[in-house]
Structure 1
Amino acid sequence: MAGNSLKTYLELNSRLGEFGHYCPVCLALYYHLVDCSETADLTHAAEYKKFYYRLCGGNHLEIFLSNPDTFLAPCCPYNLPEPHLLPRKLTELQVKNKFPQQVELKGFCPVTYKDGNQRYEALVRGTMEYAVEYKKKLYIFETKEKQEKFMRMPEIYCDQKLPCKIPPLDEPVPLTSLPTLGYLEQGVAEAVIKAMTAVGSLKPKYPFVSVKRSALVYVAFYLKAFNRKSSGCLRQKYKKKLASFLENCELITYLSSAMTGAYKPPSERPKDFDFKLNRNLGPS
C-alpha cells in the first residue's frame, strides 16, 4: 500500500495492526522502538491479513514482506509494550504543566552521560525543548538526535545514577544581589562598551563646549538612543537628538575650512555658510 492522502491515512489508523505506528522489524531484530507516526508519507506501509503495518524504510519493508509472520504474534520475539510504558515526547509547556515533578538526573542528558561511559565530562545539561516522559518520569536531552536515541532504546538510558560530584547547577543570579562593579559588568557593560567605542571613533567636539563634556553628552544620547528596554518612540526621539548633536559637532570642521583670512561678501560665500555660522554662534 502506498499513498499519503488524508483518506488513506485515516484508513490506515483505523486498521493498524498490533504494533501501531511502530516498526515491527526494528523491534524484532534490534529491540528498537521506532515510532513512524511523525512521518506522513505512507510509502513504507504494508497491508497483511487486512491489517496495516508501518515500516521505518524501504529495506525493512522488503524484509517484512518476505516473511510477515516472523515479525507478528505469536512468532515475533518481542511484543510492543503497553501504551503507558512507551516513551512519549513532551513540549516545553507540557513539562512545565507537570510542576512540581522534577526531571531525572537533575536535568543532565542521560544519553550523553551513558554514551560517554558515565564520566564526569559527559555530564551535559539537557534542554526543555527535547523532553521525554517514560514510565512516569521526565528526561531532557542535549539535542534532538539524543532524544530520538532515547526514544528507540529507553531501557538502556533510563536507569542511571549520578556520581557524588556533579557540575554546579546553572541557577540564575539576580543582578541586584551582585556588588556594584559586578552589577555594572553584568547589567550595562555591553551597552557602555559600544557607546565608548563609538565616541572614541568619532571624537565629537560641540561648539563652545569642552571635549570632556562633548564626549559625556554623546555617550548619554547614545545610551538612550540604543536602549533596547526603552520604547521605540523614545529610542527614535534620542536618535534624532544624537544626529542633531553630531551635526553641530561637525560645524567646527566645516567653518574652519570654509572661513579664510580674506573677507568675502555674502554673494561669494557658500550657500549654507551663513546658516551654519549662525547655528554655530547660537541665538544672539
Structure 2
Amino acid sequence: MCDSSEILHIRNSCYKQEVVHVRKHFQQQYQNWILLDGLKNTWWIYDSIIKEVSISMNYIRSYLERTWNGQAACISRLCITPKELQNRLGEFGQYCPVCLALYYHLVDCSETAVLTYAAEYRGQYYKMCGKDHLETFLTTPDEFVTPSCPHQLPQPHLLPRKLTQIQVKDRFPQQVEMKGFCSVTYLDGNQRYEALVPGKPEYAVEYRERIYIFESKQKQDKFLRIPEAYWDQKLPNKVPPLREPVPLTSLPTLGYLEQGVAVAVIKAMTAVGCLKPKYPFLSIERSALLYLAFYLKAFNHKSTDYTRQKYKKKLALFEENCTLIPYLSSIMRGNYKPPNECPIDFEFKLNRFLALEDLPGASGVL
C-alpha cells in the first residue's frame, strides 16, 4: 500500500534530506522562503498564505508604478538573485548612499543579504542601512546619487575592511598600528593616558595597508564608519605595558590553586556546609572529605559527560545513604514499636543501613 508506515517513513526521510538543499537555494538566491506553522488548522494556513502573497503583490505593484513614473522603488520581495544585484549595483556598491551624503559615514551593508532596505533608481540598485534611510532615498533620490551627491565613495584601496584573526596572523611580520592599542578608545578619550586600552585581534581592520585592532565590536564599527578620524594618531612617549598572558603552571602553588581550583573548591565546600553529611559507620571528617571528592568529580567541566554522570549518581547515592541516620533515629526513638506500626520502608532502610557496616572504610562508598 502506498500509505503504509514503511512508505511514509521513506517519504519523510527523503523530504528531510532534500528540503534542506531546497530551502538553502531559495533563501540564498531568491529570499522568498517563508515558514508557516503546519500544526495550525487549514484556514489559518490558507489565510497566512493569502497575506504573504498580498504583501508580495503590493511590493510588485508599487515597484512597477514607481519605476514607470521614473521614481526610486523598493526592490524587496522581487526575487532578485545575488548575481543580478551585483551586476546592477550603483556607484556606491554595498555602502549606504544616505549615510555617505548626510554624515560622510561609510556604512557597509554587504553583511545583510536581504533586500528589505534596497531600492532601484535609473536602473541601478542601492542598499540602505535602515528603514528611515530607505524612505529618505525613495523621497529624494537625486540628492544621494551622482551628480548631486555631496560625497563620492573613496577608491577601493582607501576603503576599510574587516580582518579575521587568521588573516592578521598571515600578514606577519607586519605589526598592528599604535602598538596594539585601540585608536577609537584613545581619540574618544581625549588622547589621555587612561584611554590607552589594548585592542583584541578578533576586532581587526585593514585601512591604507595598515592593520588596527579595537577594544570591542562597537569600536570596530565606529572606525569602519569614519576611518579618517581615527587612523592617523601618534602615541605618547609613555604607554602602559602590554599585558602578556601568564601560564597557569608558572604561578606559585598558592597562586595556582587560587586561579585554577578556588571557585570549584569553594562551591564544593559550600555544598558540604549546607548538607553536613554523616555517612553510616564513617567519621564526620571522612564523610565530609568523601562528599567533597564526589562533588568535585561530578561538576568538573573538563571531564567527559560519562564521568560526570557517573559521579553525579554516586553523589546522589552518598546523600541518600547519609539520610539513613536521621531517618532511623526519628523512627526508632522512644519505646519499641511493632513492625506493623512502623513506616512501610522502615525495614528496607534498616537493612540497608546494617549492610553498610559490612563494608568498612570508604570501600562501600567508592
Compute the TM-score of the two structures, normalised by the length of structure 1. 0.85
> Which residue of structure 2 lines up, in the alignment, with residue 255 of structure 1?
328
Cα distance, 1:80 vs structure 2: 3.1
Determine the C-alpha separation between the residues in 2 that align with 1:42 and 1:278.
72
Determine the C-alpha separation between the residues in 1 that align with 2:125 and 2:349.
84
Aligned length: 279
Kindly tell me: are residues 114 and 205 of structure 1, through their superposed partners in 2, closer, same or farther at Cα, counting changes over 3 Å? same
Determine the C-alpha separation between the residues in 2 that align with 1:205 and 1:44.
70
> Which residue of structure 2 lines up, in the alignment, with residue 240 of structure 1?
313
> Which residue of structure 2 lines up, in the alignment, with residue 45 of structure 1?
119
User: Quick check: 100-109 or 35-44, which moved more?
Assistant: 35-44
Determine the C-alpha separation between the residues in 1 that align with 2:124 and 2:247.
59
Cα distance, 1:41 vs structure 2: 2.7
Aligned with 2:201 (options 128, 137, 150): 128
Q: Is the 8 A contact 1:55 1:61 kept in 2?
A: no
Q: Which runs of 5+ in 1 are unaligned?
A: none
Determine the C-alpha separation between the residues in 1 that align with 2:144 and 2:279.
88
RMSD of aligned alpha carbons: 2.7
> Which residue of structure 1 lines up, in the alignment, with residue 236 of structure 2?
163
Determine the C-alpha separation between the residues in 2 that align with 1:18 and 1:273.
86
Deviations 1:105-135 (A, max 9, x none): 2332211111111111222233334321112
> Which residue of structure 1 lines up, in the alignment, with residue 18 of structure 2?
none
Q: Residue 65 of structure 1 aligns to which amino acid in structure 2?
A: D
Aligned with 1:266 (options 307, 331, 339): 339
Q: Is the 8 A contact 2:200 2:213 kept in 1?
A: yes
> Which residue of structure 2 lines up, in the alignment, with residue 154 of structure 1?
227
Corresponding residue SS for 2:344? coil
Corresponding residue SS for 1:102? coil
Determine the C-alpha separation between the residues in 1 that align with 2:79 and 2:165.
29
Cα distance, 1:25 vs structure 2: 5.6
Cα distance, 1:26 vs structure 2: 4.7
Q: Is the 8 A contact 1:9 1:42 kept in 2?
A: no
Corresponding residue SS for 1:271? coil
Determine the C-alpha separation between the residues in 2 that align with 1:28 and 1:275.
83
Deviations 1:228-252 (A, max 9, x none): 1111111111111111111121111
Corresponding residue SS for 2:323? helix
Cα distance, 1:31 vs structure 2: 4.0
Aligned with 1:277 (options 350, 357, 361): 350
Determine the C-alpha separation between the residues in 2 that align with 1:276 and 1:67.
83
Corresponding residue SS for 2:201? strand
User: Quick check: 246-255 or 79-88, which moved more?
Assistant: 79-88
Q: Is the 8 A contact 2:101 2:144 kept in 1?
A: no
Q: Residue 71 of structure 1 aligns to which amino acid in structure 2?
A: S
Deviations 1:76-125 (A, max 9, x none): 6x543321221112234433443443322233221111111111122223
Cα distance, 1:204 vs structure 2: 0.7
Kindly tell me: are residues 62 and 109 of structure 1, through their superposed partners in 2, closer, same or farther at Cα, counting changes over 3 Å? farther
Kindly tell me: are residues 29 and 241 of structure 1, through their superposed partners in 2, closer, same or farther at Cα, counting changes over 3 Å? closer
Deviations 1:141-170 (A, max 9, x none): 233332222122212211112223333323
Kindly tell me: are residues 205 and 22 of structure 1, through their superposed partners in 2, closer, same or farther at Cα, counting changes over 3 Å? closer
What are the equivalent positions in structure 2 for 1:213-232 lying under 5 Å apart?
A: 213-232=286-305
Which protein has greater RCO, CA pairs closer than 8 Å, 6+ apart? 1
Kindly tell me: are residues 34 and 256 of structure 1, through their superposed partners in 2, closer, same or farther at Cα, counting changes over 3 Å? closer
Deviations 1:5-37 (A, max 9, x none): 342764442133433333456545654333343
Cα distance, 1:208 vs structure 2: 2.0
Compute the TM-score of the two structures, normalised by the length of structure 2. 0.67
Q: Is the 8 A contact 2:75 2:119 kept in 1?
A: no
Q: Is the 8 A contact 1:46 1:65 kept in 2?
A: no
Determine the C-alpha separation between the residues in 2 that align with 1:141 and 1:166.
16
Deviations 1:178-234 (A, max 9, x none): 000000001100000000000011111112221111111110111111111111111
Determine the C-alpha separation between the residues in 1 that align with 2:162 and 2:176.
14
Q: Is the 8 A contact 1:132 1:138 kept in 2?
A: yes
> Which residue of structure 2 lines up, in the alignment, with residue 179 of structure 1?
252
Determine the C-alpha separation between the residues in 1 that align with 2:247 and 2:349.
50
Q: Is the 8 A contact 1:46 1:61 kept in 2?
A: no
Determine the C-alpha separation between the residues in 2 that align with 1:67 and 1:142.
33
Kindly tell me: are residues 38 and 220 of structure 1, through their superposed partners in 2, closer, same or farther at Cα, counting changes over 3 Å? closer
Q: Residue 281 of structure 1 aligns to which amino acid in structure 2?
A: L
